[in-house]
Amino acid sequence: MSRNATRHSPPSTPALPPSPFPTDDPILQRIGGTPMIPYPGVEDGRLLCKMESENPTRSMKDRIAMGILSEALHEHAYDTVVEASSGNTAGAVALVANRLGADCILTCPEGTSPDKIGYMKAFGAEVHTCPDVDSDHPEHYRAVAQRLADEHDAFLVDQYHNLSNPGAHYRWTGREIWAQAGAEMTHLVSAMGTGGLLSGCARRVKEEARAAGRKVTVVGVDAKHSNISTAFRGDDPVPYDTCVEGLGKGGALPTMWFDYIDTMRDVPDDRAFAQARTAAQEHGMPIGPSAGAALSVAEAITTAQPEARVVTIICDGGEQYFDTLFGV
C-alpha cells in the first residue's frame, strides 16, 4: 500500500431513487445514478464526493440536458434543438439530442476548449464558433443561438434562464444525494455557474432534512472575482475575472435559488487549480477546476469542524482540462 493510501471499509450502496426521466435508450440510461465515494485526502470518510463525473459526457450537465430535452421534445414536435455554451452543457445537449433523434446546433465563443468542441462534433452537432464580444453584441454566442433558434423554428435550451435546469436537480440529483448521505450529512458544498446544480439539490436536501428534524448547511462556491457571491450578499458587483471554466457569473440568474443556500465562499483561481491537481496527482481523482474549488472549501470545513460530515459535488471530470491543469 502506498504511503498516501488510507484503508476504508467499502461504503454501503443504498438503493437510489429512479430517474424522473425514464428511457429505454441504453446510452441515456447511463445518465444519473452516480456513486458517492469518500475523498481519500480526508480520513474517516468525513468528506464524501458525489461523482457527477461518472455521467456519459463526464459532467452533471447530462442530467439537465436529459431533463429539459426529453420533456420539450415529448411535449412539442421540435426537429432541432439549439444551445449556447462554452462548456459541458454543449456536449451533453449534443449527446441527448443525438439519442432522441433531433438535430443539434450549438454556438460557442472563440477560445472554447478543443476537447469540448470535440464532444459537440462527436455526437453530430453543428457548431458555430462566435467572436469573443460583449454580451450585448449581436454576434455574441448567446445572441447567435437565439437567432438560429428563430430561423430553424427550433427549441432553445437556454440553461441560464430555464427553470428546468435547477428543477432537474431537485427532482433527480438532490434525491440521490439524500438517499446516499442524508442520514449523516451536515454540509452540502458545490461550485456555482448557472447555479442550477446547487439550487435544485439544496432545495431537495433542505426539504428532506426539515422533514427528518435535522439541519444541513448549504455552501455555494464562487470564483474570487465573480458576482454570484456579491448578488447573494447584496454587495456591489466587482469586475468579473476568472479562468476557471464553469465557475462564477457576472451576476445573479433565475436559476440561482438563493433562498436554499446558507452561505457563499469565494475561491481564487490558483487555489481551484491546485486542488484539482492534488486530487489527481495524490489521490487518483481527475476532476475539473470548478470541482477543485468546491473540494477545497469542503476540505476546509472538515478541518475546521471535526464533527462535520460533508458532501461535495464533483460536477465534472478533469479529462477536458488537461491542457490548463497539466500543460499538455
Q: What pLDDT shows up at residue 12?
A: 57
Q: Where in the chain is the domain with CATH 3.40.50.1100?
A: 28-60+166-326, 61-156
More confident residue, 63 or 112: 63
The stretch 136-163 carries a mean pLDDT of 96
Mean pLDDT of 52-70: 97
Residue 302 has a pLDDT of: 98
Asked if the model's pLDDT at residue 9 lies above 50, the reply is no
Query: Residue 169 has which C-alpha cell?
Result: 436537480
Percentage of the chain surpassing pLDDT 90?
84
- C-alpha distances in Å from residue 181, one per residue of 48, 199, 287, 292, 300: 8, 18, 21, 21, 19
pLDDT in tens, 84-112: 998 899 999 999 999 999 999 999 999 88
Whether residue 10 is predicted with pLDDT greater than 60 in this model: the reply is no
Q: How confident is the model at residue 113 (pLDDT cuts 50, 70, 90)?
A: confident
pLDDT at 278 over 50: yes
Position 86 scores a pLDDT of: 82
Plot region of 153 (φ>0 → left; ψ -120 to 50 → alpha; else → beta): left
Q: pLDDT tens digits, residue range 233-258? A: 999 999 999 999 889 888 999 999 99
- pLDDT, mean over the chain: 94
Per-residue pLDDT at 235:
96
pLDDT exceeds 50 at position 317: yes
**What integer pLDDT is reported at residue 87 of this predicted model?**
84
Report domain 28-60+166-326's class: alpha beta
Q: Which CATH architecture has domain 61-156?
A: 3-Layer(aba) Sandwich (3.40)
pLDDT of residue 1: 40
Whether the model clears a pTM of 0.85, i.e. scores above it, the answer is yes
pLDDT tier, 215 (very low <50, low <70, confident <90, very high otherwise): very high
Question: Residue 8 has what pLDDT?
Answer: 43
pLDDT at 5 over 80: no
Predicted local distance difference test score (pLDDT) of residue 2: 42
pLDDT at 114 over 90: no
